[in-house]
Amino acid sequence: MTDLDQANSGRISLANADCERRHGWRAFSPGQGGFRAMMPAVAPQMWAKNAMSPELTVLSEMLRAAAAREIIPRFQHVAAQAKADGSLVTQADLGVQAIIRAELAQAFPGAPLLGEEMPAEEQRALLASAEGGIWCLDPLDGTSNYAGGFPYFCISLALLHGGQTRLGLVLDPVRDEGFAAERGSGAWLNGMPLAPPFAGTDLGDCLAIVDLKRLPASLLARLGAGAPYRSLRSLGSVALEWCWLAAGRARLYLHGGQRLWDYAAGRLIAREAGVHSQLQEPGGQPVTDELSLSPRLAMAAANPCLLAHWIAWLELGEGPRPDLQEGKGR
């Protein structure tokens, strides 16, 4: 039994006991070399109202164990190397990816892993060939922050199936905040349900998270001359930024170029918490294929009316279309 198996075994026992009490079956059973998920097909309404599923609980602990082993001990004591695209990678990125890849192969066999720290050819092949579901991992989202000693970074993990993100988990190891969501069932922060409290429609009342370095020069000039929001933050970890929207810590969002592993988990968490968003292709067209390796511009707001005002001010498209909005009506 691996160290991570030992760390997860207590949580798995609790998940089994709770699941057996409520539903009459066990969610997990031990297999050779690790724990193997049984993953029965259960309708979302069978879970206790507002309760995380046992699968999400165990996955959350898997991320915590990986962060405790690879991320926290190296924080402020790690060297970074530049990749071909200019972004940074550290030993923590590689270590977390290796651990989670091995643990997922044991616990959820049959679903391959697409990780950020993989060759592009392998990423494309995995995304094209995965029919029964695929895991999408960013082992350290916010590597530049991490390498620079700025405490804003996370692990992001999503399950992609049927052209959609089905599960999403984001762990902030500095604050010990674990965000999770299951499509159609809700979003949680450390097991407590999430729902943004803001129902206003005035952009001037909003704190915005905006990534400035990937935006068109013309839009940067407009934002500099007279931004419509009250205040701006640029934080440097896409998945965690989506989660802070979900938690109501910001009300507007704009990012000029995020990849699948950046937004898959965090955007689902925001959606299930009631945040509305829209992705656009580089040319300005709304995204029709959610699962692509191409970079996307992302816009989001705490409610649909606020999003419509935000997109109208940005002048980046026709506005949110009902069939493409990624938010639940509230």
Do 104 and 238 sit in the same domain of this protein? no
Do 164 and 288 sit in the same domain of this protein? no
Contact call for residues 115 and 85 (beta carbons, < 8 A): no
pLDDT at residue number 205: 94
Do 117 and 9 sit in the same domain of this protein? yes
Q: Which of 50-64, 75-89, 164-178, 270-284 has the lowest mean pLDDT?
A: 75-89
**Domain range holding 281?**
203-314
Q: Does residue 181 lie within any of the structural domains?
A: yes
- Whether the per-residue pLDDT at 36 is higher than 90: the answer is no
Q: Which of 29-33, 45-49, 293-297 has the lowest mean pLDDT?
A: 29-33
pLDDT at residue number 108: 82
Residue at token pair 């997109």 = 311
Do 178 and 219 sit in the same domain of this protein? no
pLDDT-based confidence at residue 325 (cuts at 50, 70, 90): very low
The CATH number for 161's domain is 3.30.540.10
Do 28 and 84 sit in the same domain of this protein? yes
Domain boundary, last residue among 146, 172, 193? 193
Do 27 and 144 sit in the same domain of this protein? yes
Do 153 and 236 sit in the same domain of this protein? no
Do 143 and 28 sit in the same domain of this protein? yes
The CATH number for 277's domain is 3.40.190.80
Q: Does residue 271 lie within any of the structural domains?
A: yes
Do 183 and 209 sit in the same domain of this protein? no
Q: Does residue 79 lie within any of the structural domains?
A: yes
Do 156 and 11 sit in the same domain of this protein? yes
pLDDT at residue number 317: 46
Task: List Cβ neighbours of 110 (8 Å cut-off, separation of 6 or more).
Answer: 132, 133
Contact call for residues 204 and 226 (beta carbons, < 8 A): no
| Beta-ladder partners of 154 | 141
Tens of pLDDT along 192-223? Answer: 999 876 778 899 999 999 998 888 888 999 99
Q: Does residue 213 lie within any of the structural domains?
A: yes
Domain boundary, last residue among 193, 219, 246? 193
Q: Does residue 326 lie within any of the structural domains?
A: no
Cα–Cα nearest to 244, from 276, 278, 196, 199: 196
The domain tally of the chain equals 2
Query: What is the pLDDT averaged over residues 238-247?
Result: 97
Query: What is the pLDDT averaged over residues 264-282?
Result: 93
Task: Give the integer Cα–Cα distance in Å for 267 and 293.
Answer: 15
Q: Does residue 111 lie within any of the structural domains?
A: yes
Tens of pLDDT along 65-120? Answer: 999 999 999 898 877 777 666 677 788 989 999 999 999 988 888 788 888 777 88
pLDDT at residue number 72: 94
Domain boundary, last residue among 160, 193, 226? 193
Phi, psi for 255 (deg, rounded to 5) = -145, 135
How would you classify the pairing of strands 231-233 and 207-210? parallel
Q: Select the more confidently predicted residue: 15 or 248.
A: 248
Do 287 and 189 sit in the same domain of this protein? no
Tens of pLDDT along 133-190? Answer: 899 999 999 999 999 999 999 999 999 988 889 999 999 999 999 999 999 999 999 9
Do 215 and 308 sit in the same domain of this protein? yes
User: What's the mean per-residue pLDDT of the chain?
Assistant: 80
Contact call for residues 235 and 174 (beta carbons, < 8 A): no
Q: Does residue 188 lie within any of the structural domains?
A: yes
Query: What is the pLDDT averaged over residues 47-72?
Result: 86
Q: Does residue 330 lie within any of the structural domains?
A: no
